[in-house]
A and B are shown apart, each in its own frame.
Chain A
Amino acid sequence: MRGADPVSNVIRFILLLFLQVFLFRQISLGYGGKELLFIFITPLFIALLPLRTPKPLVVIFAFLIGFGTDLFYETLGLHAAAATFAGYIRQFVLTILAPKDGYKVKANPDGNDLPQSWWLRYLGLMLGGYCLFYFSMEAFSPVFWKDISLKTLLTTPVSWLVSVILVSFLRPRI
């Protein structure tokens, strides 16, 4: 997962969407009839967009993959809202995690140009933002803050782990 060219991004879009809706949609763990743990990997697409992508375009692409996920999840708008949010906060996450001497112009988010630890933290923040916003939208009321935080705390680490593994496996090829 290294390519910064449009084709690689389009392939990532299709591949991640496919994996999300056909494989990871089946996986959910819960307790007492309440599903608490999900795996979201579509934020990976947003995180892997090249650093020099214009910010409005990031938001629009994020919306597109979220909307695509929604079409299969039958939750029209929920993933789109969360993905749009993740696309918007990407610029702030990048600012927070910026290295001392700044980013290289052509840098890609995943590991090659930047240290592995940076990549892990960056992905964690992106996934955390995505999950928090998604579960907030799903509950749709601050009354359910317990559910929201519990689901976010369970889903984020698992999704993060899956994403990291996925990227390590596929890195040289796409």
Chain B
Amino acid sequence: MEQILRLFYNNGSFFTFCALQVLCFYLIINHNSAQSAIAAETWSIGTGKYKSVSTTVNNYFDLREQNEVQMRENARLRRLLPNALYDLRANVDSIIDGKYLQRYNFLPANIVNRSPYSPNNFLVINRGDNLGIQAGQGIIDDRGLVGIVDQSTELFARVISILHQDTRISAGLKDNTFGTLRWDGKDPRYMTLTDIPDYTEISQQDTVFTTGYSNVFPTGHAIGLVTDTEIQAGTGSMNLQVRLFNDPLRVSSVYVVQDLFKEELGILNAQ
């Protein structure tokens, strides 16, 4: 308190000056037309700036609500778009030929949902029981493999992506060497082909195909290229690193592979 008083005492002239100048400004602005016009102009410029700033700031305050409204509107508009509708027409592509018996049906499907990227990925396609989707059917796209159907409902089916740590796919090379393709949950561009005998001669860039032994995928569908080999000491086998042709995380239109002989083969396999 004493310091404040001392401050006022030491700077008395300054405070007197300020107070009197404020009084003078008040008098000038209220009793002189030219000066009051200039002051009003300056004031309106200043408050205009202040108002535009405060409007900008206030716009940010209800950004959350605005977002909510926008998203509701977006959802309403998206419901009107063609791809929001479930297509009951299905183009089942089969050839009737006396010499060939149709083994695989390919059913076009679209991926309508996918789990967030993790070591265990799932997809949902817009085909279900009504079109004969069953657990165990394979999903491919034009460049590679996508996954295997896990569960199906009336209209949709859940697919275990090949980018899932539990995925086991029978795959092999051109010379009929075969092994199991799995994913270690790390790099979505690469999978590992295990259980290849270590005496097999492998060249870099050899193509890896599906074997068709598991009735999930048709035989000879290309998967990717060998980029690296790694002999597993003591097991007599080696692992191949396979660079995938496709990108299972980004694919959107796929084909469901329906094996028409599955039941018949299943009888044999069960014995």
A interface, CB within 8 angstroms of B: 54-56, 58-60, 63, 66, 70, 75-78, 80-81, 84-85, 87-88, 91, 137-138, 140-141
- How far is A141 from B28 in the complex, measured between Cα atoms in Å? 13
Task: A66-B24, A138-B35, A140-B39 given; name 11 further pairs at CB < 8 Å.
Answer: A55-B12, A55-B13, A56-B12, A56-B16, A59-B13, A76-B31, A77-B24, A78-B28, A80-B20, A81-B28, A88-B13
Residue ID in chain B nearest A66 by CB atoms: B24
Chain A interface SS verdict (over half): helix
- How far is A140 from B31 in the complex, measured between Cα atoms in Å? 13
Q: Is the CB of B25 within 8 A of A59?
A: no
For this complex, 21 residue pairs linking A to B, each with C-beta atoms less than 8 Å apart, are: A54-B12, A55-B12, A56-B12, A56-B13, A63-B20, A66-B24, A76-B28, A77-B23, A77-B27, A77-B31, A80-B23, A80-B27, A81-B21, A81-B24, A84-B17, A88-B14, A88-B17, A91-B13, A140-B34, A140-B39, A141-B42
Q: Is the CB of A81 within 8 A of B12?
A: no
Which residues of A sit under 8 angstroms from B39, Cβ to Cβ? 140
- How far is A88 from B21 in the complex, measured between Cα atoms in Å? 11
Instruction: Identify B17's interface contact among A87, A137, A140, CB under 8 A.
Output: A87
Smallest Cβ distance from B12 to chain A, in angstroms?
A: 4
How many chain B residues touch A (CB < 8 A): the figure is: 23
- How far is A108 from B138 in the complex, measured between Cα atoms in Å? 109
Q: Is the CB of A140 within 8 A of B14?
A: no
Smallest Cβ distance from A14 to chain B, in angstroms?
A: 21
- How far is A141 from B43 in the complex, measured between Cα atoms in Å? 12
Q: Is the CB of A58 within 8 A of B13?
A: yes
Q: Verify if B131 is at the interface (C-beta below 8 Å from A).
A: no
Which residues of A sit under 8 angstroms from B14, Cβ to Cβ? 88
- How far is A141 from B26 in the complex, measured between Cα atoms in Å? 16
- How far is A73 from B20 in the complex, measured between Cα atoms in Å? 19
- How far is A54 from B31 in the complex, measured between Cα atoms in Å? 31
- How far is A76 from B38 in the complex, measured between Cα atoms in Å? 16
Q: Is the CB of A140 within 8 A of B35?
A: yes
Q: Verify if B32 is at the interface (C-beta below 8 Å from A).
A: yes
Q: Is the CB of A77 within 8 A of B13?
A: no
- How far is A78 from B23 in the complex, measured between Cα atoms in Å? 11
Residue ID in chain B nearest A55 by CB atoms: B13
Smallest Cβ distance from B37 to chain A, in angstroms?
A: 9
Smallest Cβ distance from B134 to chain A, in angstroms?
A: 84
Which residues of B sit under 8 angstroms from A70, Cβ to Cβ? 27
Asked whether A137 and B20 contact (CB < 8 A) given A58-B13, A88-B14, the answer is no
Smallest Cβ distance from B7 to chain A, in angstroms?
A: 13
Instruction: Identify B32's interface contact among A75, A84, A87, CB under 8 A.
Output: A75
Which residues of A sit under 8 angstroms from B13, Cβ to Cβ? 55-56, 58-59, 88, 91
- How far is A80 from B19 in the complex, measured between Cα atoms in Å? 12
- How far is A84 from B20 in the complex, measured between Cα atoms in Å? 7
